[in-house]
Structure 1
Amino acid sequence: MSLIKLNDVWKVYPNNVKALNGMTVQIEKGEFVYVVGPSGAGKSTFIRLIYREEKATKGDIFVNNINLSTLKHKEIPKLRRNIGVVFQDFKLLPSLTVHENIAFALEVIEEHPSDIKKRVNEVLNLVKLKSKAKFLPSELSGGEQQRVAIARAIANRPDVLIADEPTGNLDPETAWTIMDLLESIHSLGTTVIMATHNKEIVNTLKRRVIAIENGRIVRDEARGNYGYEV
């Protein structure tokens, strides 16, 4: 059974811009998938639909057999417990420490304090930032902030990790450290979906590539390349 399934999905914004035009695709549990394409192709819309930041205009989207098209608004938080999301601009809470930022993701779902402390330490070890647990985001480098964002996203052991341009604001060397981390998370069984413009990463770390143009999938290759000039 597919972890994520889109069936003839359309997304039309109020200004009549068609972001997705009848998209049909399936992503299996345990896959690592790159989503590529030129700016404005529909990559971010595709990703936002999966965690119900946006709602499809037409068509069905299933995540873990849950139909997002009929999902009630009050049920969205429960859906997102199984979806970790990482953004290009980190979205850390500036007044909270590294430890507190990660813990917050578990506090909102009312995990027991002792379980929160244990899990935060586990993910801090995974992202190699335990020594900076008491630092504020402003005291960290961009790469370190992104590692905190990833730690927060996987704190609840989600089935799928969605990364929207996670290396976009980072220098090449730091970008590779983030990719190493995403590969490690994937090796633990997490499905990873990564939207990216980084040609070198896609062409070096060969994974499934879904290419989107004008809101349509124009290429879907098991071990593809980036295929666009950047």
Structure 2
Amino acid sequence: MIEMRDVWKVYSNNVKAINGINIVIQKGEFVYVVGPSGAGKSTFIKMMYREEKPTKGEIFIDSTNLAAIKESKIPHVRRRIGVVFQDFKLLPTFTVFENIAFALEVIEESPAIIKRKVMDVLEIVRLKNKARFLPSELSGGEQQRVAIARAVVNNPEVLIADEPTGNLDPDTAWGIMDILDEINHRGTTIIMATHNKDIVNTIKKRVIAIEGGRVVRDEVRGAYGYET
């Protein structure tokens, strides 16, 4: 599904963010990416949706090598990948419905299909009754649920979540994890970078630990392993 082969990322100031990573993530897995600040987690995540390009090595999503594709092909590849950010990145003047629909409008889906898909995904994230609300009228947890809905409305093969509970209180964070777990059970591969020790240690999944740009631990049903 996703494979990194001898992947390196060296920035212009000669900082080595990723140092020879080899990893395989199978279809349908739920993977936590953990490690101390500055370990290379964000670069690792960003290379999976070609926000960053590796300096050396190959990154495959199925048979597509993200390291080698032309810039013009990146939007097409990203249709197969949903991304959720810590700070939501919602359009403030768009309603909940419009924020989610925008992801389908850019690929020119018909209005009828857009309405059906948006309402279906609002059901999954439990916000069907807030379709007409603006982001400013929602709590932080609700805004993150809208961001998740937008990321999965086009049924991506992979959902990449970069600190999705980082700005949320503990109770709200558990609710977000319930939704991500449901999406995973529907067949979507989930890769989640997180500093949340309690979540990783309670909801057991595969754990990939990165330190100094290297994978230092890769465990099925692993633990967080760091002080918080």
Equivalent position to 1:75, from 67, 73, 81: 73
Distance 2:201 2:52 in 1: 30
CA positional deviation for 1:56: 0.3
Superposition pairs of residues 88-127 of structure 1, within 5 angstroms:
88-127=86-125
Aligned to 2:38: 40
Find runs of 4+ consecutive structure 1 residues off by over 6 angstroms: none
Residue in 1 that maps onto 2:59: 61
Q: Per the alignment, in what secondary structure is the counterpart of residue 79 of structure 1?
A: helix
Deviations 1:169-209 (A, max 9, x none): 00000000000000000000000000000000000000000
**Which among 51, 72, 85 is matched to residue 49 of structure 2?**
51
Query: How is 1:1-230 mapped onto 2 (pairs within 5 angstroms)?
Result: 3-230=1-228
Residues paired across the two proteins, number: 228
Q: What residue ranges of structure 2 are gaps of 5+ in the alignment?
A: none
1:78-132 residue CA offsets vs partner (Å, 9 max, x unmatched): 0000100000000001110000000000000111110000000000111110111
The alignment's TM-score, normalised by the length of structure 1, stands at 0.98
1-structure distance, mates of 2:67, 2:44: 14
Please give the per-residue CA displacement for 1:107-160, whole angstroms capped at 9, x wherever unaligned. Answer: 001111100000000001111101110111011000000000000000000000
In the alignment, the residues of structure 2 paired with residue 28 and residue 65 of structure 1 have an alpha-carbon distance, to the nearest angstrom, of 13
Calculate percent identity across the aligned residue pairs.
71
Q: What is the distance in 1 between the residues matched to 2:167 and 2:124?
A: 22
Q: How far apart are the structure 2 equivalents of 1:14 and 1:107?
A: 37
2:25 partner letter: I
Distance 1:156 1:45 in 2: 25
Give the match's secondary structure for 1:34.
strand
Alpha-carbon distance between aligned partners in 2 of 1:166 and 1:30, rounded to the nearest angstrom: 19
Q: What is the TM-score normalised by the length of structure 2?
A: 0.99
Residue 15 of structure 1 and its aligned partner are, at CA, apart by: 1.4
Secondary structure of the 1:220 match is: strand
Give, as a single letter, the amino acid of the residue that structure 2 aligns with 1:140.
Answer: L
- Shift of the alpha carbon at 1:64? 2.0
Letter in 2 for 1:122: D
CA distance in 1, matches of 2:217, 2:63: 25
Q: Which amino acid aligns with 2:115?
A: K
- The C-alpha deviation readout for 1:43-77, integer Å capped at 9, x for no partner, is 11001000000000000000121011110000000
Aligned-partner SS, 2:24: strand
Gaps of 5+ in 1: none
Matched to 2:13, the amino acid is N
